Each structure stands twice: as C-alpha cells, then as structure tokens.
Structure 1
Amino acid sequence: MASPLPFAHPADLVRADQKDDHCRAELRTLLLETSEELLGGHAARWQGALQVLGDASYAWATAAAGSSLGEEYSELLLVENLRPAGRFRRLLAAALNAVLVNGNWGEWLMLFLRLHLALFYLFGRYRHLPERLLNLRAVSLAERPYRSFSYRPLGFVLLAQAIGQLLAKILQRRSGADVADTETLQAAMGNWAPALPQSRLSAGRPPRCNICMGPAESVTATLCGHLFCWDCIASWCAMKASCPLCRASSPPQKLLPLLHYSSI
C-alpha cells in the first residue's frame, strides 16, 4: 500500500503564491493596456475595476482547470480531507482572497492578517485565511517534497511585531480617549480663544486629479508634470509604470509628492 502524499512545505506554498501573483499581475497589465487603447487616459479611472476583473478571471480560469499555474509550477495539489478540492471550494477560496487583497479594510483586520501570516510561518499550514476557513491544504507531488529548513524564526519575528502593534494600538486608543475627555471638558467650560486667521496656503484650491477628476488629495506629480492624487497615481503606476495621460515612463519610485501645494 502506497504511503499518503506529504503536505507541502511552506517554501513551496510561498513559491506557488508568488507565481500566481506574477500571473495575475501580467493579466492586469494586459487589461490595462487594452483599456488604454480603447479609452485613452480615461482608462485610469477604471483601474480598480480592471484589477478586480483580472483577479476574478484568473480565479475562474484556475478553478475550471483544477489547479493554478503556481500550483503546477511548484507541483502541488489542493485537497480537502485528503481528496482533491472541488471547483466550487477553489473558486470560493479565490474569491474570498481577492476580496481581502483588493478591499480597503481597516487596520484591525490587517493586523489580524499579519497574525495569520505569523501562524503560517510557525506551523506551515494555510498560506491564506480563506484556505483555513474552508479547510483546504496542499500536498506535494514532487519527487523530493521534503525540506531541511524552517520558517519558524521568521514566524516568531512576525508574531512579536504583530503583538507590539496590537499593544501600541491599545495604548493609542486609551490616550485618544483621554484627549477626547479633555476636549469635552474644555468645551463645557467654554472656549473663548480667538480663531486663527486661515493661512494663504490653505486658501488655494487643490488641482484636479486627472484620474478621479476630483480635487487632488496629497498632490503628486509624474515625471511628465501631470498632477494626480497620490492614491490614484500610485496604484496605477504599481500596475503599469506610465502616465495614464501621455503614456510617458513613470516608475513608482519617481513619483513626486508636492507637499504644501497651493494654486495661488
């Protein structure tokens, strides 16, 4: 009787995840380039939707195929209760993971995900939270599936860092409550301090962002001189290193935040 397949080593899981991230990034780039050809500079407004569309398309394709390109590259098989994972569970896990990656979540959830990552490096199970929730694990199909090293030291470092951030947030929240109590007391006693005149810099109107078409927040310039919100242009250049208006080269590290920008 043949021995059961061993569960995948964390290094193989990380390598498979990196390969899948690379494939998703390539698909996003193709979608962005296609939208640029069709819509021109207006394509930048739809970058978030295109990113979600690319991730969803990759999730559907890999669920239909039965394995992702990263799993094939690392010779892994996703299983549930030692049986190959069904398409529905694979698709549900991919959809939940896309929501966690692309969603604008609060700091507490990000801290929880960091704790989950520390547990992964400590125990070598469940690279992503949806896989833990759906009880999906990967087994190795390689001829030599075993590794002679461990990620546990990194797991301890991440765990200590997450605990430190948790304690810092608790202390910050308490200090914030003390400040709020002080401000409430001052308001009850009455505050007759004269209002300070508004500075001339704050009176200027911010420029219009060429992506969201609203007032630019944290005004940022590309090498070609076009102005955007920091969040808008940084997320665009992370997927495609070019200006969405003139298509000039614009690496993310060359973006220039304009502090204290004023149009007057």
Structure 2
Amino acid sequence: MKAEDIRAEENILHLADAASIVQANQKDTQIETILNGKLNDLLTLTKGQLFTNIYSKHISIASKLLYLSLTTLIGRKTLGEEYVDIFIVNKKNKGLVKRYQRLVFIIGYTLGPYLLQKLLSLWKRHHQILNEDDDHDDSNNDGQLSWEAITNSLLDIHMLIFYFKGAYYDMSRRVSGLRYVTGHHLTNDEKRIRERNSKTYKVLGSVLLLQSLSNYIPLVKYLGQLLTNSIFKHNYRDTNIKSSDQTRINEKIGIIKGVPEESKYHHIDLSDGNCFKFIPESSRKCILCLSDISDPSSAPCGHIYCWKCIINWCTEKEECPLCRQICKPQQVIPLR
C-alpha cells in the first residue's frame, strides 16, 4: 500500500514556483512587444503614422488579444509557458480550465488595466471639478490620496501574496482561477533550486512589505475621511448649488454653449510659404502626421506640431514626441 502511495505521489505534477511563472511572463511580454511592433508597422503603412500615434494603446491591447487568442484561448501553450515547461490548470490542480475561464482571463489581462485607467481618470476629473467649487476643501486637497493610490496599494498587496505563496502572478489570473503546474517530473536538483528561489522571493516580498507599510496608514485615514464626508458633501451640494455655479460646472466638464463650428475657424497652413516665414522649411512638417503643419502649436519645449496632432498625442502621453519633456494638453500654445 505504501508503495502504491509513493507511485501515486510521483505521478502528480507539482505546482509551478514563482520563478518559473515570472520567467514565463517575461518571455510572453517580449513576444507581445515584438507582435505590437509588427502590428504598428503594418498599420503605419496602411493607415499612416498619425493613426498609430493616436491609437497606440489600442494597438497594444489588440496585439495582446491576438497573441492570447491564438494560444491560451484555444488551449495551446504560450511561448513563455513552453520556455519554462508549465501549463494551465484550475485552482484546485484537479484538471484543465474551462474555455470561459480562459476567456475571462484574456479579457481581464488585456482590457482590465485600460478600463481601470479610464474609470480612474473619470473619477479624478469629477472629483477635481467638485473640489474646485468648495473653498473650504482646498486646504485638504494636497493631503488627500487619490483612487490611483488605493489601486496601487491593492496591487502591491496582491504582489506580496504572490511573492510569499507563488500562486497568482496578476489579478486576472486570480479572478479566473488559473494556476500553473510543471510539465515534467522534478529531479532532486530542481527541487533544491525551487527551494532557494522560493526563499529569494520571500525576501523580496518582505522588502516590498516594509516599503508599502508607510503608504497604508495614510490610506486608511483617507478612506475613513472619504466615507464620512461623501454623504454630507453630496447633500450639501444638492441643496446649496446655485445656477451660476451650475453653469460654471457645465463649462468645466465640456458643456459650453456658443462655441463656433470648426469650419468657421481661420486655419493656418504652413504649406503656404508666405505664412509664418520665420519658421524654417525644415521645421514646417509635423513629425506626427508627416504633412505640412496645420494650425501650428508649440509645446513648452518649443517644438512645433499641428494643433490636432499634439493635442491627441498629449491626451494619450503627456510628453513631447521629440524630446520627451513633460507636455500637458493645457500647456500647448497655438501660434497666431
């Protein structure tokens, strides 16, 4: 009976350790980067440079979706999983995962961060608009933490659990219940290496824990303040807001009346040599759309682009495309 138990134990595949999971993820990230570059090149040829600049995040999401749809979704190993010889099982390590679990993981892995960033941006914008209307809240704005800080703290906690347990590398795998097992039996040497790697990751987890502790105390205070003040502020605004204040809020969130149509604007096109003669010929092309600059606008660093091009770029990345200096949309100056 004991011999049968030993043989049965030998036939059980071991769960993958943290080092193998991290290695597989790094390899997959490299492949996704290569695929994203190829997709960018293809869309640049067919749609133009401006299209790829504006939709860079969407192209990155599409490349990840394509890669995982051709591997994980149809039950095949990714190149990273092949590299370290691991494969996906359910969270109880008693069988392969269902198709819907794979789909949930892919959606969460590719679209989750993008949707979360959009929600945080909307909340931040709404919160800033409301805070600007309350003079008594201005002194507390600097000390308040954002929801982005809360999200980062939760992700830090998740990563701490991974370093100590070695189970789920990211939140999407935890939600969908995807775990990894090794595709081969472990030798004694491999077991010793796994033990050393496990100790190393626990040390990293301890360092991250010490680093994060300083953020948790103000986070708890902020959550308590947010919960106690949110209902009061909401009722206060509903009963005391005036029509002039409402008009000002509408203007801030984009409901502005009396804005002329774009066709009625006086556009400046640098294809006309008599227009803005002080700009040299070598600088009259926009590097984003590769065309003559239309409605020239200057970034804080002094580089000139089309108004639409630089605004669309700064909406996605708040930096100058050439020198990478900070360039927020509100800092762009149209030249007239």
> Does 2:156 correspond to 1:156?
no
SS at 1:256 equivalent: coil
Do the aligned residues in 2 keep the contact of 1:20 with 1:70 (CA within 8 Å)? yes
Residue equivalent to 1:34: 42
**Offset at residue 119 of structure 1 (A):** 0.8
Q: Which moved more, 1:71-80 or 1:51-60?
A: 51-60
Change (3 A) 1:124 1:36: same
Within-5 A mapping of 1:184-223 = 219=299
> Does 2:167 correspond to 1:125?
yes
Residue equivalent to 1:61: 70
How big is each residue's C-alpha offset from its partner over 1:24-69, in whole Å with a ceiling of 9 and x where there is no partner?
1111111111111112133122222222211111121112142211
Residue equivalent to 1:22: 30
How big is each residue's C-alpha offset from its partner over 1:196-245, in whole Å with a ceiling of 9 and x where there is no partner?
xxxxxxxxxxxx9968xxx9xx94769x754565453469x9xxxxx6xx
Change (3 A) 1:220 1:17: farther
Do the aligned residues in 1 keep the contact of 2:299 with 2:333 (CA within 8 Å)? no
How far apart in 2 are the matches of 1:7 and 1:64? Answer: 22
**Offset at residue 134 of structure 1 (A):** 2.9
Residue equivalent to 1:93: 105
Q: Which has the larger radius of gyration?
A: 2
**Offset at residue 175 of structure 1 (A):** 8.4
Read off the aligned partner of 1:73 and give its amino acid letter. Y
Do the aligned residues in 2 keep the contact of 1:59 with 1:91 (CA within 8 Å)? no
How big is each residue's C-alpha offset from its partner over 1:131-183, in whole Å with a ceiling of 9 and x where there is no partner?
222332111124554322320111122223333223233446778999xx9xx
Q: TM-score under structure 1 normalisation?
A: 0.67
Do the aligned residues in 2 keep the contact of 1:77 with 1:84 (CA within 8 Å)? no
SS at 2:167 equivalent: coil
Read off the aligned partner of 1:57 and give its amino acid letter. L
SS at 2:62 equivalent: helix
Read off the aligned partner of 2:68 and give its amino acid letter. A
Change (3 A) 1:231 1:9: farther
> Does 2:14 correspond to 1:6?
yes
Equivalent residue for 1:78, pick from 88, 97, 108: 88
How far apart in 1 are the matches of 2:100 and 2:301? Answer: 44
**Offset at residue 110 of structure 1 (A):** 2.7
Gaps in structure 1 of 5+ consecutive residues: 189-207, 238-242, 244-249
Q: Which moved more, 1:97-106 or 1:125-134?
A: 97-106
> How many pairs does the alignment contain?
218
**Offset at residue 88 of structure 1 (A):** 3.0
How far apart in 2 are the matches of 1:53 and 1:64? Answer: 17
Do the aligned residues in 2 keep the contact of 1:220 with 1:230 (CA within 8 Å)? no
Do the aligned residues in 1 keep the contact of 2:156 with 2:212 (CA within 8 Å)? yes
Residue equivalent to 2:59: 50
Do the aligned residues in 2 keep the contact of 1:13 with 1:127 (CA within 8 Å)? yes
Structure 1: which 4+ aligned runs deviate by more than 6 Å? 173-178
Q: CA RMSD in A?
A: 3.7
Change (3 A) 1:234 1:261: closer
Q: TM-score under structure 2 normalisation?
A: 0.54
SS at 1:127 equivalent: coil
**Offset at residue 9 of structure 1 (A):** 1.2
How far apart in 1 are the matches of 2:317 and 2:175? Answer: 35
Gaps in structure 2 of 5+ consecutive residues: 1-6, 121-146, 241-285, 290-294
Read off the aligned partner of 1:18 and give its amino acid letter. Q
Change (3 A) 1:36 1:234: farther
How far apart in 1 are the matches of 2:78 and 2:300? Answer: 37
